[in-house]
Amino acid sequence: MGISVRPEEVESKKEKGDKVASFSYVAIDSSGKQVKGTMEANDVDAVKGALKSQGMIVTSIGTASALSKDIKIGGSGVKARDLQLFCTQFASILHAGVTIIQAMDMMVDQTTNKNLKAACADVKVLIEKGDTLSAAMTQHDDVFPEMLINMVEAGEQSGSLEVSLQRMATQFEKDAKLSSMVMQALIYPVVLLIVIIGVVILMLVKVVPQFQETFNEVDAELPKLTLIVVAASHAVMHTWYIILGVVILIVVAFKLWARTESGAMIIGRTILKLPLFGDLVIKQASARLARTLSTLTTSGIPLITAVEMCGKIMTNRVVKTVVEDAKSDIEKGVPLSQPLEASGVFPPLLYQMTRIGEETGNLEEMLDNCAQFYEEEVENATQAIATVVEPLIIVVMAGIVAPIIGAVMMPMLSIYNAVENA
């Protein structure tokens, strides 16, 4: 579980001009478990002090590279579907009148995801020691999302834990469905692109060399297109390791750049401007924002906290920035609908429905209706992309393969005509 210095401390150091660096560490926590993670701090001593203040014994500290920093995607391999099943089963067990400790013990037996199972087992131990369920889950925030922890805490305080878990089950189900639909839209062109690359490499490595031997025997003058294809074949066959190295270098450099603030913003803006795909991303973000806000605010989570959590789950950096800025505006007393409209990113229906909800005091229902609308829109957009991309990819494949075939056939026809005329 990664631990970091409080954000306000880091920001204070940045404002003072102090150099804040990332450090990787290995420590032993109070229960004797080894903990690895990264921390932003001024120096090594600050890292040691922060860890010791949390009751940890430091074993090693080093400078964190861009590749060793904590990157949480899906929470230790726990997917939305796993969390949905966890919430659904847990709520059902509690509804049957079982105590939380017994329910957690049953969850350990039923859960198939090994990371989630281990977290449930430790949560049960912590509850037996006197912790609340939400406090115990906080110790495993790499498995249990912050939104789930907050919803559990709200359920404990209001005496409606079962309802909170059921709402989170619905939330995770909708989120998993949205992600699945987006993946379906993206996976087809990716697979076809891989097929195109495979076909081109096969032709350059197997087909072109065979015809090249014939061209050399005849000693005929080859067209420029054929010479280009032959040169490409020679490069792939004899310098493939250089080409592969360059490709890997470009991919790694791109990923490192994409993790920077400027890189993430540029990529985010580019994606939003793409035909079809940009529209899909916006609709997915709108559905996720509306659904999450509705789930959290219905359970009594303050709007500022709910918006802050929504910002954390947004994947596009541009959208993420808009939501984060909206949180700052809400803290100043500005209605949520205003920053959403001023951003120019979200569609009119989202901020108009939000404004109606704010004016009528029925924000949760308006957001829920908006979420349902955009979830259907995501499904329609996914089908539209599949309809358009399929023939487009075939045309692209033909445009790449046809010149290679033409480069091989043109000299063969010239040779055949020369032999026939002779």
The pLDDT, as a whole number, for residue 113 is 87
149-153, 245-249, 265-269, 316-320 — which is least confidently predicted? 149-153
pLDDT score at 217: 67
Residue 247 in this model has a pLDDT that exceeds 50: yes
Give the separation between CA 140 and CA 170, rounded to whole angstroms: 22
> Do 391 and 381 touch, CB atoms closer than 8 A?
no
Supply the pLDDT for residue 66: 34
Rounded distance, CA 137 to CA 146, Å?
9
CB 288 within 8 A of CB 313: yes
Give, as one character, the DSSP assignment of residue 57: E
Place of tokens 């590749």: 67
Pairwise CA distance, residues 171 & 149, whole Å: 13
Burial code of 260-292, b = ≥16 C-beta within 10 A, e = fewer?
eeeebeebbeebbeeeebebbbbbbbbbbbbbb
The predicted pLDDT at position 383 comes to 81
Which DSSP letter does residue 382 get? H
How far is residue 211's CA from residue 415's CA, in Å, rounded to a whole number? 12
Which of 340 and 313 is assigned the larger pLDDT?
A: 340
Residues recorded for the chain = 422
164-178, 182-196, 314-328: range with lowest mean pLDDT: 182-196
Residue-averaged pLDDT of the chain = 81
Statement: residue 376 has pLDDT above 80:
yes
Q: Of 75, 43, 68, 40, nearest to 259 (Cα)?
A: 68
Residue 58 DSSP SS3: strand
Does residue 192 have a pLDDT over 90?
A: no
Work out the average pLDDT over 397-407: 82
Tokens describing residue 16: 């003072």
Domains and CATH numbers, the chain: 7-63 (3.10.20), 77-173 (1.20.81.30), 174-422 (1.20.81.30)
pLDDT at 122 over 80: yes
Q: Does the structure show a pLDDT above 50 at 9?
A: no
pLDDT of residue 266: 94
Spell out the alpha helix ranges (H) of 97-221: 100-110, 114-128, 133-138, 146-158, 161-202, 208-218
Q: In this structure, are residues 349 and 376 in contact, taking their beta carbons and an 8 Å threshold? A: no
The answer to whether 65 and 103 are in contact (CB under 8 A) is: no
pLDDT higher than threshold 60 for residue 241: yes
Read off the amino acid at residue 17. Answer: G
pLDDT in tens, 217-239: 666 677 788 888 888 888 888 88
Distance of CA 55 to the CA centre of its chain: 33
Residue 277 has pLDDT above 50, yes or no: yes
305 exposure class (CB count in 10 Å sphere: 0-12, 13-18, 19+): middle
129 SS3 class: coil
Q: Compare 115 and 48 and report the one with higher pLDDT.
A: 115
Instruction: Report the share of the chain in percent with pLDDT over 70.
Output: 83
pLDDT given at position 64: 47
**Strands 57-63, 34-41: pairing kind:** unpaired
